[in-house]
Structures are given as structure tokens and as C-alpha cells.
Chains A and B, each alone.
Chain A
Amino acid sequence: MIKVRIPTPLRPLTKGQGEVESAAANIVDMIGSLDATYPGLKNRLCDEKGDLRRFVNIYVNEEDIRFLNGKETSLKDGDEVSIVPAIAGG
């Protein structure tokens, strides 16, 4: 299984959970399957074309998927995925 870290702003969609699990083989499938369980998540992460929004980053372990294989970045058992949106509070 893959652990997916949900950031504070998106936790209302995951019933408050900060960590959920996924068995997806890549990021695009992971977003799809999470959206099936937690409707609305995909819309917060991706634009109308399905591309990752430019103020949201997704990391596989410590690496930003924009610098790996983007949405097609593959996942394997034991990976930790972090969703990290820009925040502005000060």
C-alpha cells in the first residue's frame, strides 16, 4: 500500500484524515481512486484538463513529481505521497 498525506486545507474532504491509503500504480490513478472515495479531491488538485494545478505540489517520498514523470510517475508498495498546496497565512 501507499500512504498519502493529505494537507490541512483538503482534510474536510477526507473526513478530517491526515493520511489515507492507496493501491494505485501511478499518480493519475491514485488521484482517480481517491476521488472515488473522497469526491471533490480531484477537482482541488487538477484543472479542467486534468493537469495538476500550479499551486499544488505532489511529492513521492521526497521528490516533486513535476521533476519526475509528472502525473505518470509510478508508485510502488511502501511509497509515501505528500500533497502540498501553497499556503499564505502569516
Chain B
Amino acid sequence: MEFTEQQIQRYSRHIILNEVGGKGQVKLSKAKVLLIGAGGLGSPAALYLAAAGIGTIGLVDGDVVDLSNLQRQILHTTATIGAPKVESGRRMLSAINPDITIKTYQLNVDTENILGLVSDYDIVLDGSDNFTTRFLVNDACFFAKKTLISASMFRFEGQLTSIKPHAGYPCYRCLYPEPPPAGLVPNCQEAGVLGVLAGTMGILQASEAIKEILGIGETIADKLVIYDALEMKFRKVSRPKDPRCPLCSATPTIKDLGGDYSVACTI
């Protein structure tokens, strides 16, 4: 594929990097990245992926923009309050980079639609706000052999990891075998979050996605990155493959998406 003069200028700061170059920029322009959630994490991730020239960006979100979202969900503006998040997102991403394709899915993922969604993409970013979706997306990406970049946050703390069991690395269930039952761990956005933490974690997801596409740098697929904004501290802990993992071990108990993924949302 050939870039226009304008595109060469747009991506010039990438192209002059040895690690990216013209070939890397072509890889980015051919890449398809799906974002589950166009909220706190999905917003900054989508903005940078669009700016980087990712050829196809899919946005999945069933919600509409609410005033209380704007403290952190920078894909949306005061003018798009009430609009579907995926439409608000499409407008913003197109304004940043008209050369890319943006596909929108105004829906909540479920066991029926998730495999069809992820199968059309190379990499999936999980920026959802509940455990039900996180376990479902992990399992679907496992069955579809898609690399998943997962981030989550709570108040002042964020977690990040890359999940690619198809390349021999652990899955999300190797890290957390089961979701918490209702009431034990706060899992709703109403629990409060430092707005800018969404930016930090979402941009780290975008960075890891771009590294995966380009095939450069160190993977975090065998690590969990923990960020504490108050202490301004990043820590990495090891994330081994669980030989008894219910999903990705040699003797799995989860063989399809037919199980119960519902987790009540209680603070």
C-alpha cells in the first residue's frame, strides 16, 4: 500500500523511528483494533490509536454520553451529551484522523455476539466497567486466538496486562480464576475514580497494542502492571500460566461461552 504525501507528513514522526519506519506504519494502517467500552479507558486509547493511524478501529458501547462521564471520558464532549457513545466517539476520531475506518457497535457484549465481534479484529482492548464483560471478553479472545490488552481501574489504582494464551502466555483466568461474588469487591463505576487515571491506563493500553502490532519491545504478557497514582509508583509482578486454569490449561472445564457470566453489581 502507498501513503499519500499528506499521510507521510502526518506519520512522519513515526516513520523516522527505526523501530517503526514506513513498514511499521503500513502495519499500523492495516491493523484492526476493537475497543470494548468507549468510556474512561477506551477514550484515551481510541484517540491515540486513531492518531497513530490504526487502519480500522471498532468501538463497542451500548451507553449514551452522560454529563458525569466527561470528567474522564475525553472521547466525548459537552456537545455530545445524550448521543450514543460510539457515535460521539466516531465524530471525535474522524476529526483527528479522517483516513481511518471507524466501525461502531451500539450494544452491550454478550455470549451471543462477542465471538462475532472479536473475530473481525487483530487485537482487542478491554476497557469495560464490570467483571461479567471482562471474563466474557477474556474467554472469547481465548477461543478466537486474539491478543487482548486488558486494563482496569479503581479510585487511584490501575492494573494492566497483555493476554495472549495462543502464544503460550497466561489468560485472565490464570490471574483471577473467578469473578468476585456480589458485594465483596466494588466493581461499578459509581465507586469513584480519579479521572486522569483513566488517561494513564488507557494510553498504556494503546501503547501495548501498538507494540504488539509492530512486534517491538518487551511484552507484559507474563506480568501484571500495577499503578498507584497517589504514590506515583508502578510495580510489576509476575503472572505465570496456571497449570490448573479452567480455560487455557490442558484440562479445561470451560470449553465454550455457554457458562453463566452474570455477576451482580454491588458496591
Contact = CB atoms under 8 A, between A and B. Distances in A.
Contacts of B230: 18
A18 B42 CA distance: 28
Nearest to B235: A82
B15 to A, nearest CB: 32
Interface in A6-59: 7-9, 18, 44, 53-55, 57, 59
A84 B231 contact: no
Contact of A84 (B180, B224, B242): B224
B188 to A, nearest CB: 8
B261 interface: no
Interface residues of B, number: 47
Nearest to B151: A90
A81 B187 CA distance: 24
Interface string A49-83: 00001110101001110110000000000000010
A67 B239 CA distance: 10
Contacts of B189: 89-90
B17 interface: no
Given A18-B230, A54-B178, A82-B226, A87 B154 contact: yes
Contact of A7 (B129, B157, B176, B239): B157
User: Which of A18, A55, A67, A82 counts the most B-chain CB atoms under 10 A from its CB?
Assistant: A55
A44 B183 CA distance: 10
A88 B238 contact: no
B177 interface: yes
A67 B175 CA distance: 11
Interface of A: 7-9, 18, 44, 53-55, 57, 59, 62-64, 66-67, 82, 84-90
Give 5 nearest A-B pairs by CB, closest first. Answer: A87-B154, A90-B129, A88-B187, A55-B180, A86-B176
Given A8-B155, A84-B159, 5 more contacts: A8-B157, A67-B240, A89-B40, A89-B152, A90-B128
